[in-house]
Amino acid sequence: DQQVKQNSPSLSVQEGRISILNCDYTNSMFDYFLWYKKYPAEGPTFLISISSIKDKNEDGRFTVFLNKSAKHLSLHIVPSQPGDSAVYFCAASAQQAGTALIFGKGTTLSVSS
Amino acid sequence: KAGVTQTPRYLIKTRGQQVTLSCSPISGHRSVSWYQQTPGQGLQFLFEYFSETQRNKGNFPGRFSGRQFSNSRSEMNVSTLELGDSALYLCASSSSGRRKETQYFGPGTRLLVL
């Protein structure tokens, strides 16, 4: 049973607009969440993380929002750039799982100029 | 610093064979984790090694094994290969292996089992 779900396999956005990628989780023991970006033929690259004690974390153009009651997090990219076109993975961590990350299946973002 | 390196990058094997994949973590990193990525299941955790000891293990059969050497380099072995083992195998390293520490991924080894 998937504990981390990214229900949108793909998202298309115009350059300069906001990209919003969503992620839902089912395990209430998750207390740390991460977003990774992956280009073809490369490994995932860490983007941003958030601890469950926060509801927002910003890093430049990237902001992650966490809604614990809804078990939902989202990644906002503003403004979107063509170089942001990649697969974005949401991942979660729980104390009992040690350092193992539980990943969603990814959302492919396409930013057109 | 050089990033995480994985060799080989591509591999073709036939059913029943075994395969060994290698991962060199970022210099100074002591924790190495392995993940399998398939189109159907996404990225799934295989196991983690820290200071030459397997510290954590995912839900994979015993055909999947690994080890870590004193220089933190890690190898993953898959015996009696099955068609379903075709996947991208990724390793990730982190400095101290603390849970909320960023894990840095290598480019992966793409394994095709025929």
Please state which of the ranges A5-9, A15-19, A64-68, A97-101 shows the lowest mean pLDDT: A97-101
CA distance A12 to chain B (A): 20
Q: Is B3 helix (H, G, I), strand (E, B) or coil?
A: coil
Residue B4: the pLDDT is: 97
- In the numeric block, the tokens 């690994």 are attached to B66
Least reliable range by pLDDT among A48-62, A99-113, B90-104: B90-104
Residues in chain B closer than 8 A to A34 (CB atoms): 102
Query: Which stretches of chain B score pLDDT less than 70?
Result: 1
| Residues 60-89 (B) with a CB less than 8 A from some CB of A | none
Task: Using DSSP bridges, classify how beta strands B53-57 and B109-113 pair: parallel, antiparallel or unpaired.
Answer: unpaired
* Residue pair B3/B90 in contact by the 8 Å Cβ criterion: no
Best of B31, B33, B36, B43 to mutate (most A CBs within 10 Å, chain A): B43
Chain centroid offset of residue B107 CA: 11
Of B31, B55, B107, the CB nearest to A41: B107
d(CA B91, CA B68): 12
**Average confidence score pLDDT of chain A:** 95
CB contact under 8 Å between B56 and A100, yes or no, is yes
A92 at B interface, C-beta within 8 A: no
Closest approach of B78 to chain A, Cα-based (Å): 20
CA pair distance A85, B108, nearest whole angstrom: 20
Specify the pLDDT at position B1. Answer: 67
Would you say residue A97 has pLDDT above 90? no
DSSP string across A41-103: TS--EEEEEEETT-SEEEETTEEEEEETTTTEEEEEESS--GGG-EEEEEEEEEGGGTTPPEE
The number of C-alpha atoms within 13 Å of B2 and in the hemisphere containing its C-beta is 8
> CA B19 to CA B76: how far, in whole Å?
8
Cβ distance A103 to B42 less than 8 Å, yes or no, reads yes
